[in-house]
Amino acid sequence: MSRPTTPTVPPQWSRPRELAFQILADSRQGAYVNLALSKALAGSSLTGADRRWVTELVSGAARHLGSLDAIIEAAAGRSLTSLQPAVVDVLRLGAQQLLYMRVATHAAIDQSVELARHRIGQRVTGLVNAVLRRVAVQGLSDWLDQLSVGLSTDQQLALRTSHPLWIVQAYRQVLPASEVEPALLANNQSPVPTLVVRPGLLERAALLALAGGEPTPYSPWGVIRAGDPGEVAAIQAGLAGVQDEGSQLMAGLLDLVDAPDLPWLDLCAGPGGKTALMTGLAQKRRQSVVGAELHQHRARLVVDALRGYGVAPVVVADGRIPAWNSAFGRVLVDAPCSGLGALRRRPEARWRKQEADLGDLCLLQRALIDQALDSVPPGGVVAYVTCSPHRRETVDQVAAVEASGRAEVLDAPSLWPQVEQATALDDRRCLQLWPHRHGTDAMFAAVLRRQ
Ligand SMILES: C[S@@+](CC[C@H](N)C(=O)[O-])C[C@H]1O[C@@H](n2cnc3c(N)ncnc32)[C@H](O)[C@@H]1O
């Protein structure tokens, strides 16, 4: 007799709050919320509105961790470290519904208590019920006002925008005072997916006709389109991809400068979005692009991004140690960085990053810039790009390279003249984009010409 088959997805996963609870638990073990969410949704029977609701619930709870925890601690009258981590997860999900989503109070509390009973045990239901009732006694702005008493301006901003204090302070160094709060708040909005055509393979007008959406305001290759990009046939066929508009502008920089007519190099290529766009642009100049990437699994993603072009000049290599002997005319260093400019994409990221990580990152970035300059002849051009606006990873690096006498800093903002307000605060030759100004990630670029 054959045994009944076990369903691969537990039935309770089809219930939104259970699914959100599981994702927060996975996130505590190190999973990325976005990836865990897509995997869980793919295996669930949830439909449209429920999927959007779970996404808002779990992404919001991960993003608002700082403010939610401060409110829960005040309501509970005890430190969260004295509670079982799973109970904290239930409380965060409940408080997210009560304070940041339009969920009726009784539904948010009753369902959270049920969740706690089912996933943790009867013994914790009284505590969950009592704490969430206290959270519900006032709205978000009253809680924030109450908890702001006695805090410094930056501590208040950290609480209100739900960011670690060091990130607030880092933003303050690179933005006019009036823009710090809008910039931080912009990190709490999930971006609408942006598609990009592969130049030479598909025109933007054709992608718009095929998939719908709106043209991006600045990039000539982009389309803003709500919905699942995986369903777009042109993406499946390798004729288009998914790429933030800011990244598109960065990848296009090297095509906008004069440089020796030699092959191009993408020194930190994985997962390959910029390599693909650069390949289309270089091919129009009858040049090729070599992609170098340290990690094999990410190099494979570069090969996949290039599949529409039918070429795969990708090397697995440490960009600090040349695996090539040819000279390149143009080199992109899209360096590993803190990622402080892409926080809206990764809900939990701000709570995982540490200021102490910057030291090693900055050393790596500088070594990669030096190697890139070694890879071009005099007159060759290097674009140094980060998805971080942090001073130490951006204008400070550029100042150090300039002081070494190895490179001249070109006027990068003038290469994209249609993008207004795109200069870095402390070095007007550098390009700095912002979500609250441009609707892009906070990408930084300096364009360096080897002396
Ligand atoms: C910011 S990402 C690049 C994103 C990519 N340019 C794109 O647009 O798809 C930085 C990449 O550099 C790679 N990396 C880190 N250290 C490296 C090194 N020493 N040499 C080459 N690549 C490195 C990382 O694995 C990561 O894939």
Residues 40-50 pLDDT 10s = 998 888 888 89
- Tokens found for residue 15: 């219930």
- Tokens found for residue 170: 């880092």
What confidence score (pLDDT) does residue 46 get?
87
The 10s digit of each residue's pLDDT in 242-283 is 999 999 999 999 999 999 999 999 999 999 999 999 999 999
What confidence score (pLDDT) does residue 59 get?
97
What number does the ligand 1 atom closest to the CA of 273 have?
A: 9
pLDDT bucket at 311, cuts 50 / 70 / 90: confident
**Test site for ligand 1: of 289, 294, 444, most ligand atoms within 8 A of the Cβ:** 294
CA distance 7 to 95: 32
What number does the ligand 1 atom closest to the CA of 319 have?
A: 20
Tell me the residue type at 414: S
What confidence score (pLDDT) does residue 242 get?
98
Q: How much is the average pLDDT of 59-77?
A: 98
The DSSP result for 198-217, as a single string, is -TTT--HHHHHHHH--EE-S
**Residue with CA at minimum distance from ligand 1 atom 16:** 294
Reduced to 3 states, what is the DSSP secondary structure of residue 293? strand
User: Strands 314-316 and 407-409, how do they pair?
Assistant: unpaired
Predicted confidence (pLDDT) at residue 14 exceeds the cutoff of 70:
no
CB–CB of 398/446 below 8 Å?
yes
294 Cα to the center of ligand 1, angstroms:
7
Predicted confidence (pLDDT) at residue 9 exceeds the cutoff of 70:
no
What confidence score (pLDDT) does residue 47 get?
85
The 10s digit of each residue's pLDDT in 215-240 is 999 999 999 999 889 999 999 999 99
Non-local (6+) Cβ contacts of 21 within 8 A are 86, 89, 90, 93, 115, 119
CA distance 314 to 241: 18
What number does the ligand 1 atom closest to the CA of 385 have?
A: 1
The 10s digit of each residue's pLDDT in 149-205 is 999 999 999 999 999 999 999 999 999 999 999 999 999 999 999 999 999 999 999
What confidence score (pLDDT) does residue 45 get?
86
What confidence score (pLDDT) does residue 325 get?
76
What confidence score (pLDDT) does residue 82 get?
97
Predicted confidence (pLDDT) at residue 350 exceeds the cutoff of 50:
yes
CA distance 225 to 228: 9
What confidence score (pLDDT) does residue 48 get?
85
What confidence score (pLDDT) does residue 388 get?
98
387 is catalytic: yes
What confidence score (pLDDT) does residue 44 get?
86
Phi, psi of 75 (to 5 degrees): -70, -35
The CA-atom distances, in angstroms, between 37 and each of 86, 88, 114, 270 are 18, 19, 22, 22
Q: How much is the average pLDDT of 319-340?
A: 93
Q: How much is the average pLDDT of 383-389?
A: 98
336 Cα to the center of ligand 1, angstroms:
5
pLDDT bucket at 15, cuts 50 / 70 / 90: confident
What number does the ligand 1 atom closest to the CA of 274 have?
A: 8
What number does the ligand 1 atom closest to the CA of 243 have?
A: 8
Q: What is the DSSP letter of 239?
A: S
Among 231, 218, 242, CA closest to 416: 218
Non-local (6+) Cβ contacts of 371 within 8 A are 267, 319, 320, 321, 322
Say yes or no: CB of residue 441 within 6 Å of ligand 1.
no
Per-residue exposure over 268-289, b if at least 16 CB sit within 10 Å of its own CB, e if not: bbbbbbbbbbbbbbbbeeebbb
Tell me the residue type at 237: A
Q: How much is the average pLDDT of 350-354?
A: 96
Q: How much is the average pLDDT of 293-307?
A: 97
What confidence score (pLDDT) does residue 5 get?
42
Cβ–Cβ contacts within 10 Å for residue 213, how many?
19
What confidence score (pLDDT) does residue 415 get?
98
Predicted confidence (pLDDT) at residue 7 exceeds the cutoff of 60:
no
Among 16, 36, 42, CA closest to 24: 36
Say yes or no: CB of residue 291 within 6 Å of ligand 1.
no
Q: Phi/psi zone of residue 248: left (φ > 0), alpha (ψ -120 to 50 degrees), beta? A: alpha
> Out of 268, 337, 362, 387, which one is annotated catalytic?
387
What confidence score (pLDDT) does residue 4 get?
43
293 Cα to the center of ligand 1, angstroms:
6
Phi, psi of 66 (to 5 degrees): -65, -50
Q: Phi/psi zone of residue 236: left (φ > 0), alpha (ψ -120 to 50 degrees), beta? A: alpha
Q: How much is the average pLDDT of 396-408?
A: 98
The burial class, CB within 10 Å (0-12 / 13-18 / 19+), for 294 is: middle
Q: How much is the average pLDDT of 409-431?
A: 98
**Test site for ligand 1: of 265, 267, 268, most ligand atoms within 8 A of the Cβ:** 268
Could you give the percent of the chain with pLDDT greater than 70?
Answer: 97
Cβ–Cβ contacts within 10 Å for residue 140, how many?
17
Say yes or no: CB of residue 269 within 6 Å of ligand 1.
yes
Average pLDDT, the chain: 95
Cis peptide before 164 (omega within 30 of 0): no
**Test site for ligand 1: of 293, 320, 337, 444, most ligand atoms within 8 A of the Cβ:** 293
CA distance 40 to 37: 5
- Tokens found for residue 303: 């090969």
CA distance 226 to 192: 6
The CA-atom distances, in angstroms, between 78 and each of 81, 149, 417 are 8, 19, 54
Could you give the percent of the chain with pLDDT greater than 90?
Answer: 92
